[in-house]
Amino acid sequence: MSGHTTSSVADKWDAIYTHQECKTALPAEVLQQNLHLLPQSGAGLDLACGLGGNAICMAKHGIEVDAWDVSSVAIDKINDYVDKHKIKILTQQRDIENDPPSPNTYDVVVVSYFLYRPILKNICKCLKSDGLLFYQTFCAEKVTYSDHITGPKNPNYLLNKNELLSVCEGMQILVYREEGLQGDIHKGWRNQAMIVAKKID
């Protein structure tokens, strides 16, 4: 278990999102770099959506998007943004750790900077046949020089080596990137891993 209450987590993220806006929320690199893999239509989920950068990106590419987050502040800001910009996104304040998505529901699921291991298999199972998972978050093995984003310190929220590959076992791996500490650590894409995987029944 995560060792915290839902209300304390919601309060934490509410405080963070109070000072941020959707217009500055960008889609994760795993989505930005692989937009060409998205289907032309279908049902999508931005899981632990924050201010909706992934959801907004998917909606603009023709996906019918659900956006879930524990923070009511984030959800309210997304609702205001989509109303203003005439974008269709169905939002929901939701405790994802205790109420993960149902099986065989989505054609696309995007997860960025969220890791709760007890529901990782639920996330894969919520995909329909041929559905795509786009996942990106921080790794335990990381470069620590000062100008680099390193993510959280708690190992519960950091990926082990090749963990995303293990999570997606049995799926078709379309994209995988995890550079670790190999080579010149001042170059490349460090401290994170990304995967795009296709569910095969």
Q: What is the CATH number for 124?
A: 3.40.50.150
E-only strand ranges, the chain? 43-47, 64-69, 89-93, 106-112, 127-138, 172-177, 192-198
* 96 pLDDT more than 70: yes
Question: Using one digit for the tens of pLDDT, what is the confidence trace for 22-43?
Answer: 888 899 999 999 999 999 999 9
Question: Using one digit for the tens of pLDDT, what is the confidence trace for 142-174?
Answer: 888 656 677 888 989 999 999 999 999 999 999
Q: What is the mean pLDDT of residues 53-76?
A: 96
pTM value surpassing 0.75: yes
Site of tokens 């998007």: 65
Could you tell me if residue 165 is inside a domain? yes
Q: Are 53 and 29 in contact (CB under 8 A)?
A: no
Q: Which domain, by its residues, includes 112?
A: 6-198
* 5 pLDDT more than 80: no
Could you tell me if residue 1 is inside a domain? no
Domains in the chain, number: 1
Please state whether beta strands 89-93 and 64-69 pair in parallel, antiparallel, or not at all (unpaired): parallel
